[in-house]
């Protein structure tokens, strides 16, 4: 079962990006499996910007090109190779642009009312995680939970870790 965690960082424009980078490092260590992640920022004009962690247009184009090439070779020979590859890439990119993967964008916009131009927010959809180690790594990042589907005891521990002072660096 996937877990949603949404955190707002008041007066920290780049905190969401730094936290996502930290989570991606933890993913490489197999401590967390991220399904989706979105960074939210608001510009000075008040427009909300969602930065998806998965580029669906590129992924759709690559997948479409593969299938287009395959179908083109099977059914139309060398000419079908070019036509199928280009057509498949175009259709795949279009499908990727229309797709909404992971966390619903409209849900993110609704929850992002508090995001001001000086703030950022991070929405993550977690497939699985080693809770204690992930919470320890997020200690002191300064965020406040907006929404989560975590059990209440873990939610409290996560909020305390986010709000705590950053841990002191280890002596050399």
For strand 3-9 and strand 120-129, is the pairing parallel, antiparallel, or unpaired?
antiparallel
Cα dihedral 161→166→171→172 (10° resolution): 100
Residue 167 burial (C-beta neighbours within 10 Å; 0-12, 13-18, 19+):
exposed
What predicted TM-score, i.e. pTM, was given to this entire model? 0.70
DSSP assignment, residue 152? H
Q: Measure the CA–CA gap between 144 and 124, rounded to whole angstroms.
A: 14
**Which pLDDT tens digits describe the chain residue by residue (172 residues)?**
789 999 999 888 899 999 999 999 999 999 999 999 999 999 888 899 998 875 444 444 455 555 554 555 555 555 454 445 455 555 554 444 444 457 888 999 998 888 998 889 999 999 999 999 999 999 999 899 989 999 999 999 999 999 886 555 556 5
Q: Count CA atoms within 13 Å of residue 98 on its CB side.
A: 6
Domain boundaries, the chain: 3-53+102-163, 55-100
Residue that is written with structure tokens 């395959």 in the block: 70
Backbone φ/ψ region at 123: left (φ over 0), alpha (ψ -120 to 50), beta: beta
* 25's tokens: 């490092």
């Amino acid at each position: 079962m996937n877990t949603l965690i949404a955190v707002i960082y008041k007066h920290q424009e780049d905190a969401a990006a730094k936290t996502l980078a930290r989570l991606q490092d933890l993913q490489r260590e197999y401590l967390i499996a991220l399904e989706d992640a979105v960074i939210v920022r608001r510009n000075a004009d008040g427009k909300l910007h969602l930065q998806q962690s998965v580029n669906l247009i590129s992924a759709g184009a690559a997948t479409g090109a593969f299938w287009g090439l395959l179908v083109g070779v099977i059914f139309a020979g060398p000419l079908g190779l070019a036509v199928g590859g280009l057509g498949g890439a175009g259709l795949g990119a279009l499908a990727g642009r229309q797709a909404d993967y992971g966390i619903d964008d409209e849900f993110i916009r609704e929850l992002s009312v508090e995001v001001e131009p000086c703030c950022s927010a991070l929405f993550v959809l977690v497939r699985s995680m080693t809770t204690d180690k992930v919470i320890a790594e997020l200690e002191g990042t300064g965020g406040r939970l907006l929404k989560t589907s975590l059990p209440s005891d873990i939610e409290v521990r996560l909020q305390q870790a986010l709000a705590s002072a950053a841990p002191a660096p280890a002596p050399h």
